[in-house]
């Protein structure tokens, strides 16, 4: 998979201009699709018209459970939909059973990067840890935080109440507040084994503990096959 050069100012969202999912983010090394964005019916519904307000989509990993308005995810933050089995967030069970026991909760960095997938733009996806600017492995933190205060909606056409993580739009990106950029990645050289050959990439994404867990945008140009 060929990675696209990093140096571009415009990020590419996995969502369309109307916030509908238009790209899968990538694929895990086990072949399972990575698709963090929700789809219907997990969207705020206008109480008068019944129409979906796509500015306010549920954040799947924060709305887990069985029943109305809840997303049924398994212990790998995944479920089956029209596109087949796919991950919405941190793949806990799969990591523990197939990659390294304890890696989902351990605060001690592994000896080297743990490669768990490929993004649609060709860059590797690492799990939780990665090298800092000096090359030392560390737990990498996102630069997204919950907004303060209350949502602007009236509870009829848009949600009201405090920003609590129920909706993806409850979060905002704060540059340099964490280790990673808006797309939950970082421009930094990394060398990983690809089919028995060491390859170096100039950028990588990270699956993080906190939101967004999985990136919602691309730094490079996504391959159209991921639509």
**pLDDT, tens only, 36-53:** 998 889 999 999 999 999
Residue 24's region, left for phi above 0, alpha for psi from -120 to 50, else beta, is beta
Domain membership of residue 2 (yes or no) is no
Output 51-54 pairs: Cβ under 8 A, ≥24 positions apart: 53/157, 53/158, 54/18, 54/19, 54/20
Calculate the dihedral angle through the C-alpha atoms of 106, 109, 111, 116, rounding to the nearest 10 degrees: 70
Domain membership of residue 129 (yes or no) is yes
Domain membership of residue 168 (yes or no) is no
Give the mean pLDDT of 14-39: 91
Confidence of residue 10 (pLDDT cuts 50, 70, 90): low
For residue 7, pLDDT over 50 is answered with: no
Contacts of 108 (CB under 8 A, 6+ apart): none
Confidence of residue 133 (pLDDT cuts 50, 70, 90): very high
User: What is the sign, positive or negative, of the torsion defined by CA atoms of 131, 136, 137, 142?
Assistant: negative
Q: Which residue do the tokens 């398994």 mark?
A: 74
Domain membership of residue 198 (yes or no) is yes
Range(s) of the domain holding residue 203: 12-144+178-226
Q: What is the pLDDT of residues 93-112, one digit of tens each?
A: 999 999 999 999 999 999 99
For residue 148, pLDDT over 50 is answered with: yes
Q: How many domains does the chain have?
A: 1
Contacts of 134 (CB under 8 A, 6+ apart): none
């Amino acid at each position: 998979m060929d990675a696209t050069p990093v140096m571009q100012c415009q990020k590419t969202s996995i969502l369309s201009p109307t916030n509908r999912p238009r790209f899968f983010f990538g694929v895990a090394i086990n072949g399972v699709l990575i698709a963090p964005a929700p789809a219907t019916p997990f969207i705020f519904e206008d109480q008068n018209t019944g129409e979906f307000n796509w500015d306010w989509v549920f954040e799947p990993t924060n709305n887990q459970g069985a029943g109305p308005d809840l997303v049924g995810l398994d212990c790998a933050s995944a479920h089956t939909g029209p596109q087949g089995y796919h991950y919405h967030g941190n793949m806990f069970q799969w990591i523990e059973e197939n990659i390294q026991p304890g890696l989902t909760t351990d605060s001690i960095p592994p000896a080297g990067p743990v490669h768990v997938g490929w993004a649609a733009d060709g860059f590797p996806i690492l799990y939780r840890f990665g090298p800092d600017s000096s090359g030392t492995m560390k737990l990498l933190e996102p630069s997204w935080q919950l907004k303060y205060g209350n949502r602007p909606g009236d509870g009829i056409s848009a949600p009201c109440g405090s920003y609590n993580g129920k909706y993806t739009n409850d979060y905002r990106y704060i540059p340099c507040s964490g280790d990673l950029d808006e797309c939950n990645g970082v421009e930094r050289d990394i060398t990983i084994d690809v089919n028995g050959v060491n390859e170096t990439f100039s950028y990588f994404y990270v699956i993080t503990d906190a939101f967004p867990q999985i990136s919602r945008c691309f730094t490079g140009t996504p391959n159209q096959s991921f639509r």
